[in-house]
Structure 1
Amino acid sequence: MSTTMTPPPAEAQTPPPAGGPTRQSSRVVAILVIVLGALIAIGAMVSAVFSTVAAASVRTTVRTIDVADVGALDVDVAAGSLRIEYADVQDAELEVTGANGADRWTLRTDGDELVVSSPDTWFGDGWSFGGWPFGERGAGEATLRLPDSLAGADADLSLAGGELVVDEGEYGRFQLDMSAGRARAEASVDAVDASVAAGSADLAFDGAREASFSLSAGSLQAELTGAQPRSVQVSVSAGSLDLVVPEGAYDVQSDVSAGDFDNRIGSDPDADSTVTVQVSAGRATLDAG
């Protein structure tokens, strides 16, 4: 009798652990993290270098110009900041504090106009990498001092970026055309025409006989003091406008197609002073004070 030997079954081969791809993915993530950290560190160092260089190069310079034959002011601010004020000076003075000083600003006369404008920055209204010298401060901080002989001159002001401040003073017709930035004005005027396409404006005028305020976006706060104006026109297509007029009777006429108009002074059809309000969107408030 023969015996048949049955060999034992072969042991199942255990597949190698599937750790290769996982370890490779982890390695890629680690490399990316290292690279990102290095870029952040380099960016911080470059930003610090720019800030240090800009701070070291800051200087204050002053330019003057004869304005004996000047009767109007033409100002264009596209970057930086400009403050306009009257002072005890004989000529008009432009003082600029910044990396470039006053040399890059325009200060000249054109006929009977005094023309002042900010320089164009490398990146338009500015690239805020490191804050300075790029960005709106790249044009510097300027102050325009006017002699008393220019009191009552017409003012045509344009703001496309940065900041514009009118610190009191007396003007004839005051015109502000604003497309961006921040504006603040306090002055005595014969008439005012302010148009704000974007940004924010805080305005206060004394003695205006005629006033016009137009807002396309952003915010506009305006206050009229002194005698009642003969006529006031308000137009709002977006944003928020708040207007305060002197106490008295007004014939208020409004056309609101959308948005909201809050009339807090009522209306008297027999009043000599008229207020016309048109709101196509946004919000307008009319008050007295």
Structure 2
Amino acid sequence: MSTTITPPESAPPAGGAPAQRPSSGARTVAILAIVLGVLVLLGTLVSAALTTVASAAVHTSSRTVAVAGVNELAVRVSAGSLRVEFGSVREAELEVTSSWGADRWTFERTGDRLVVGTPDRFGQWFGDWFSWGEQHGEGRAVLRLPSSLAGADAGLSLAAGDLTVDGDFGDLRLNISAGGLMVSGSAETLTADVSAGKGEVDLADVASATLSVSAGGLDATFTGEQPRSIEADVSAGSLQLEVPEGQYRVTSDVSAGGFDNRIGSDVNASSRIHVEVSAGEAVLRSAR
């Protein structure tokens, strides 16, 4: 008599159901993540390389221009940083620290005007690659003027970057459309137009001033002799105006925004201040 033995059923593999292959969507996400990581790494490496190249390429160079007969200064800054000062020099001297040098700047005499300007923007994108860490490739510059130009008229225009000026001027005109401008010293007359950016003015003995702020801000401090006339127009942004101690006839026209007059008004005063505010705010105070 024979006995038939039936083998037991095989146990299912450990771990439950067999693993499934990842879907095509999951594979796509994984691939994209890898590609993105590689691009970030490459960007970091390229940035480090450009920084090293730019640091090695930056140098300082200078140019000079004779100023005999010059009675007006015209400065245009569209990027970068420029400081204007008076010093012990016989000629106007422009010193530029950048990867391109002073020869790309406008620095010339036109009749009785000395003209200074940052490089043209055409092709600037190419220069930016080799000026990593500088402001748009123009770098930093210092304009030194001889004392013989003290009291000359000046027109300062700032479209971007930084402009710092210290000196004595006759008719001083400021135009700020972006960036930051700081002016100190003295001026006979002042015209300032701020459409954006920030202006800081600290001037002595200003006889008359016309101030316009359509955006951004202007902080103007006048010292020394009382101004005879100040006209201020604020259509947006803010104006902080400080004048020497004394009596002023203050008038205003406020259609929107606010005007904070902290010096009062004397109808018999010979010095006159008129403020118009159509938006934004204006504050008028006297020096302590």
Do both share a fold (TM > 0.5)? yes
1:74-93 equivalent positions in 2, closer than 5 A: 74-93=74-93
Please state how far the C-alpha of 1:85 moved relative to its aligned partner: 0.2
Partner of 1:188: 186
Which whole-Å CA distance do the structure 2 matches of 1:36 and 1:270 have between them?
A: 73
Letter of the aligned partner of 2:284 in structure 1? L
Please state how far the C-alpha of 1:19 moved relative to its aligned partner: 5.7
Letter of the aligned partner of 2:148 in structure 1? S
Which whole-Å CA distance do the structure 2 matches of 1:99 and 1:78 have between them?
A: 17
Partner of 1:229: 227
Which whole-Å CA distance do the structure 1 matches of 2:50 and 2:59 have between them?
A: 16
Partner of 2:12: none
Letter of the aligned partner of 2:162 in structure 1? E
Which whole-Å CA distance do the structure 2 matches of 1:243 and 1:216 have between them?
A: 15
Please state how far the C-alpha of 1:43 moved relative to its aligned partner: 1.1
Please state how far the C-alpha of 1:131 moved relative to its aligned partner: 9.8
Please state how far the C-alpha of 1:207 moved relative to its aligned partner: 0.4
> Is residue 2:146 matched to residue 1:144?
no
| 1:47–1:130 Cα contact (<8 Å) kept | no
Partner of 1:267: 265
| 2:253–2:275 Cα contact (<8 Å) kept | yes
CA gap of 1:135–1:217, structure 2 versus 1, over 3 A, is farther
TM-score (norm 1): 0.88
Please state how far the C-alpha of 1:121 moved relative to its aligned partner: 3.9
Q: Aligned-pair RMSD on alpha carbons?
A: 2.2
Counterpart selection for 1:211 from 197, 206, 209: 209
> Is residue 2:253 matched to residue 1:255?
yes
SS of equivalent to 2:256 = coil
TM-score (norm 2): 0.89
Partner of 2:14: none
1:99-118 equivalent positions in 2, closer than 5 A: 99-118=99-118
| 2:151–2:170 Cα contact (<8 Å) kept | yes
| 1:196–1:220 Cα contact (<8 Å) kept | yes
Partner of 2:176: 178
Partner of 1:8: none
Please give the per-residue CA displacement for 1:82-116, whole angstroms capped at 9, x wherever unaligned: 10000000000000000011010111111100011
Please give the per-residue CA displacement for 1:65-98, whole angstroms capped at 9, x wherever unaligned: 1000101101111111110000000000000000
Q: In the comparison of the two structures, how many residue pairs are matched?
A: 271
Letter of the aligned partner of 2:245 in structure 1? E
Which whole-Å CA distance do the structure 1 matches of 2:43 and 2:82 have between them?
A: 31
> What runs of 5+ residues in structure 2 fail to find an aligned partner?
1-16
Percent of residue pairs identical? 51
Which whole-Å CA distance do the structure 2 matches of 1:121 and 1:187 have between them?
A: 31
Which whole-Å CA distance do the structure 1 matches of 2:134 and 2:94 have between them?
A: 21
| 2:51–2:133 Cα contact (<8 Å) kept | no
| 1:123–1:134 Cα contact (<8 Å) kept | no
Q: Which moved more, 1:79-88 or 1:44-53?
A: 44-53
